[in-house]
Amino acid sequence: MSAIYAMWLREVKRYLRSRVQIVASLAQPTMYLLILGFGLGPVFQEAGKGSYIQFVAPGVVGMSILFSSIFSGVGLLFDRQFGFLKETLVAPVPRTNIMIGRTLGSATIACIQGTLVLTVCMLAGFRPVSWGQFPIALLFMLLIATVFAALGTAIGSVLKDMQGFQIIMNFLVMPIFFLSGALFPLTNLPAPLSVLTHMDPLSYGIDALRSQLISVTHFGAALDAAVLGACAVAFLALGTRLFSKIEI
């Protein structure tokens, strides 16, 4: 237990100390929000779908959680290169605990990041339809963060260098983002695209956020919760397995 807490605390401390990085990582979601939000707003409105800012804000929050949790999960790669990973791997605690602590730390960071982005969204004019559901939205954010932090740790456990990370970025993380319906509604898509969006865990995450924040949902919040929960368990199991097999 204390090992989990120690690893969690370490991740969070390191994050809170990197102020510049925190601000810098808000830039990308803000750009998506403002440029797409205001750029596509008129077309969206004309199509009779309402305000695009309202629609895209949960998507942008989901995006920032995705990127932030994957990045900090992959922070494992730096710990491997700078050596600190060894120190934790020889410690007399089950590697599962080390992995869980790291992953929860990454998930916490991603949640803070998501909350910051949500604040930026509100500054740009986004309004949740009901404040009552806000706490549930936060829980969904934590669930999304756990799913992708675990995936990040799993990936970080098998990668050995930065080249591998680029490949993962381009062929896994970006598709997860673009296929998630963060930027467009999931209705009336061509069949192949529709299939892909249904296979993307983030689709359910962003749908869940929309269900709580703007009362719009494609899958229904119950299915969203079930899929996210199952993914979290699966990725944690995978991450634990890969992490405990790390050799240095």
Q: What is the contact surface with another protein in residues (CB under 8 A)? A: 2-3, 5-6, 10, 13-14, 17-18, 20-21, 24, 77-79, 81-84, 86-94, 160-162, 247-248
Instruction: State the Cα–Cα distance between residues 41 and 47, nearest whole angstrom.
Output: 10
Shortest distance, position 2 Cβ to another protein, whole Å: 5
By C-alpha distance, which of 77, 1, 101, 107 is closest to 246? 77
Nearer to another protein, 15 or 140 (CB): 15
Q: How far is CA 129 from the centre of its chain?
A: 23
Q: Residue 17 contacts by C-beta under 8 Å, 6 or more apart in sequence?
A: none
At 201, list the tokens.
Answer: 């865990």
Shortest distance, position 94 Cβ to another protein, whole Å: 6
Nearer to another protein, 38 or 84 (CB): 84
Nearer to another protein, 90 or 199 (CB): 90
Nearer to another protein, 127 or 160 (CB): 160
Q: Which helix (H) or strand (E) holds 54?
A: helix 52-82
Instruction: State the Cα–Cα distance between residues 148 and 151, nearest whole angstrom.
Output: 5
Nearer to another protein, 3 or 61 (CB): 3
Shortest distance, position 210 Cβ to another protein, whole Å: 32
Shortest distance, position 32 Cβ to another protein, whole Å: 21
Q: Residue 241 contacts by C-beta under 8 Å, 6 or more apart in sequence?
A: none
- Residue 201: how many CA atoms within 13 Å on its side-chain side? 26
Shortest distance, position 3 Cβ to another protein, whole Å: 6
